[in-house]
Amino acid sequence: MEDYVYILDYLAAGTPGHRRESSAYGVGESQFTLLELLPRHDVSLVIGERVYVGKDKDKREKISKVKGRVTYDELTAAAHGELLYIIIDIVKDNEEQFVKFYNECPSISTRYHALELLPGLGKKTMREIVSERRKQPFESFEDIADRVTHLTHPEKLVAKRVEEELRDSDQKYRLFTRPPLKK
């Protein structure tokens, strides 16, 4: 269960062709869960805003109900457009967690490493990351970028992987997201 989500899209007039009540789409902060939300009647939401959706209904100032999980395909075009930027912000805000991934992620098999699941990261860069982290664990994204050749934005690789996992429900390996909804 997510406690906080970032708003991807806010439909003040509701979903076209479905209902007249306002709704919103958001992405969870801890497991990148895609959710449909029903805002309170007396509030408006801003894209990119962080809102509480946890179990404590008294703390929910802006959301009256979490309608449920949705798939990437059920999001609006506007939500698709905002998703990567918001994921990058979440990754940057939780830098310690994702630097830990770079420091600790294991091999998947004798021929394949979890780092290779990051889009655009090949075997040569993966070997360099593993070599550098053996010398000394990485302390920040900036440290990774300074010590690994040709890796200038490690946070963007993580964000692109998260988006890939959300977009493709048939992903064999999930590094950062919950498994998709069963249909």
Both 74 and 120 in a single domain? no
Q: Could you write out the three-class secondary structure of 114-167?
A: HHHHCCCCCHHHHHHHHHHHHHCCCCCHHHHHHHCCCCCCHHHHHHHHHHHHHH
83 pLDDT more than 70? yes
CB of 30 closer than 8 Å to CB of 39: no
Where residue 86 sits, what CATH number does that domain have?
2.40.50.140
How many domains would you assign to the chain?
2
* Burial of residue 167 (number of CB atoms within 10 Å: 0-12, 13-18, 19+): middle
Residue owning tokens 């801003």: 46
Per-residue model confidence as pLDDT tens digits over 128-145: 999 999 999 999 999 999
Confirm whether 68 is domain-assigned. yes
Say if residue 68 is in the same domain as residue 128: no
How does DSSP assign 21-43, residue by residue? S-EEEEEETTT--EEEEEE-TT-
Give the domain-ending residue among 59, 76, 91: 91
Which residues neighbour 139 within 8 Å (Cβ) at sequence distance 6 or greater?
99
Domain annotation covers residue 157: yes
Same domain for 10 and 87, yes or no, is yes
Judge if 59 and 113 occupy the same domain: no
Burial zone of 148 (CB within 10 Å; 0-12 exposed, 13-18 middle, 19+ buried)? buried
Residues 55 and 115 in one domain: no
The per-residue pLDDT for 41 is 87
Residue 122 has pLDDT above 60, yes or no: yes
Give the residue from 91, 110, 137 where a domain finishes.
91
Q: Which of 20-29, 96-105, 137-146 has the lowest mean pLDDT?
A: 20-29
**Structural domain for 154, as ranges:** 95-167
Give the pLDDT score at 182: 67
> The pTM is what?
0.91
Please state the length of the chain: 183
- What share of the chain in percent tops pLDDT 90? 80
- Taking the C-alpha atoms of residue 66 and residue 71, their distance in angstroms, rounded to an integer, is 15
Q: In what order do the strands lie in the sheet with 63-69?
A: 50-52, 4-11, 23-28, 34-39, 63-69
99 with 22, same domain: the answer is no
| Phi, psi (deg, nearest 5) at residue 99 | -65, -40
The answer to which of 11-25, 89-103, 156-170 has the lowest mean pLDDT is 11-25
Mean pLDDT, rounded, for 94-113: 95
Note the pLDDT of residue 42: 85
